[in-house]
Amino acid sequence: MSSRITNEQLQQIVREVERLKKEEQATLSREEVKQVLEELSLPTDLLDQAVMQVNLRLKRGKLRQTGLMAGSLLLVGIAAMLFWLQQKQATLAQVRAVQDRITLMQTDGGNLNVVNRQQSPEVFYQVTLDQAPVGDRLTLSCSWTDPAGVIVKQNRYETKKITTPVWNTHCRMPLGSSTTPGTWTVEMFLGDRSLERAQFQVQ
């Protein structure tokens, strides 16, 4: 029997040993591999080379499996993130304003149509939200537009952690002698979605 083994024979050995290993899900001993070679009428004196090739192949297969598993986990992670974002967007889409008013103090329960710039240092826009996401915070903004249609001030803020579905929030703008008299508009946004707007007179 020739001591040289062809590449084709080596591939045949590797395939047969891998098949047996997969079937039995166990480690083959050197003797079992030698028996396989004899059954295939192949030289046994290059057994160590064949075993080394089999181990190399199995190691590559494990690396490939690890890569596939990592890729699968990444896809699951991305799918979970997309689902979470979708749920969050659906929750935010339900938030709506149910009441709004212009006041001169944060806790004032009144609703003003006219504000005197000489008598008050600032004006508040109070908004009551419904369907606010309990346990989360909302990122809100307000735009204050003067009578000429110019946005003079913008507030951007994050609420405290919301504890009830009906939630009161506010934004404010300073007043002074330089504040343009006339009809002003204030508008509150959740992201880029307008929640509510109000107009008031500055004298």
pLDDT for the residue numbered 25:
47
User: SS3 string of 53-121?
Assistant: HHHHHHHHHHHHHHHHHHHHHHHHHHHHHHHHHHHHHHHHHHCEEEEEEEECCCCCCCCCCEECCCCCC
pLDDT for the residue numbered 91:
79
CA dist 159 and 95 (Å) reads 14
Whole-model pTM above 0.75?
no
pLDDT for the residue numbered 1:
45
* 3-class DSSP state of 1: coil
Walking along the chain (203 residues) 10 residues at a time, the average pLDDT comes out as: 59 66 56 67 62 64 63 64 73 88 76 84 92 93 95 94 94 91 95 93 92
Rounded alpha-carbon distances, angstroms, from residue 166 to 63, 103, 129, 190? 54, 20, 6, 15
**Which neighbouring-strand residues pair with 173?**
123
Q: Which residues contact 188 (CB under 8 A, 6 or more apart)?
A: 97, 100, 125, 127, 140, 141, 142, 169, 171, 194, 195, 196, 197
Domain ranges within the chain, ordered by starting residue: 7-92, 95-202
CA dist 197 and 191 (Å) reads 15
CATH match for 95-202 among 2.60.40.1930, 1.20.120.10, 3.40.50.740, 3.50.90.10: 2.60.40.1930
Instruction: Check: CB of residue 100 under 8 Å from CB of residue 194.
Output: no
